[in-house]
Amino acid sequence: MENTFLQYSIIAIILISIAAGIIGSLLVSNNIVFIGGGVAHCAYGGIGIAIFCGFSVLLGASLSALFVAFCLGFVKKYYSRYIDVFNSVLWAFGMALGVLFLNLSPQVGVDVESYLFGSIISIDKDLLWLIFYYNCFLVGFVYIYYKEILGISYDYEFCLLKNIKAQIFTNMIFIFIAIGIILCMQISGLILVLAILSIPAYIANLFICTLKAQMLFTSLLTCIFMLAGLYVAYRYNISPGASITLVSVFSMILILIIYKIRMLRG
């Protein structure tokens, strides 16, 4: 049983690292990391509704995240100046909705902490296959439309002038981001998911110029941080989500110190 748990955990980390590496790079390169937070916290509303109505929590969170993705895609097109305001509103609305439906839920003793902080022990074979299929679609999308994604990430207005269907690609990127965040939440939880998505991508952004290379390096860093965090959690019997986050934060601080020292000497 213990070996199966470790095997599933390691496989999940490898698969999630691919998704988080690509999604995190898109969030950082587009300067929309805050949207990741909005999607994750609004998903709490879907979790509350799912528990209240008695259907799949993963489905409820996914539908909630997709709702946010479509809303923010619309806002980016027509009210781009206020996208952070709308994101904050959706963030608060989702959390409030989740709390309300959990309070009204007839189920007794619902384990809310597993959704907030992650539960790597709940990972099963079906979830691993789901992450695998998601990665296939995500990698295929990035490979086929890399030039369009690159243009949108760094010069959205230029893409509009060139008659590139920027809004369609923006919506697709938001959809992939939303689903990817929900899958990452299965390990890190709602509260800590931003650490997985932002810290490795930020570090990669410091040292690497091209988006494609950033995605690869971010995936590698994410995998290293998560495996190290899993080891710490297993060794000291603490929450994997918390240990992964702490490993990521301390690693970032150390790398930033080394980076600044090299900049001063150079």
Q: What is the residue extent of each domain of the chain?
A: 2-194
Q: Cα 170–36–84 angle (5° rounding)?
A: 75
Cβ neighbours for 147, distance < 8 A, ≥ 6 positions apart:
none
Tens-digit pLDDT profile for residues 189-248? 777 788 888 999 999 988 888 889 999 999 999 999 999 998 998 888 888 888 888 999
Q: What torsion, rounded to 10 degrees, do the Cα atoms 33, 38, 41, 45 define?
A: -150
CA distances from 105 to 38, 167, 189 (A): 24, 38, 21
pLDDT at 142: 93
Residue 113 CA to residue 110 CA, distance in Å, equals 9
CA distances from 111 to 57, 61, 117 (A): 12, 15, 11
Residue 151 CA to residue 154 CA, distance in Å, equals 6
Q: Alpha carbon 253 to chain centroid distance?
A: 21
Tens-digit pLDDT profile for residues 149-205? 888 877 766 776 666 677 788 888 888 988 998 888 877 777 778 888 899 999 998
pLDDT at 131: 92
CATH assignment of 2-194, given 1.10.3470.10, 2.10.10.90, 3.40.50.1000, 3.40.47.10?
1.10.3470.10
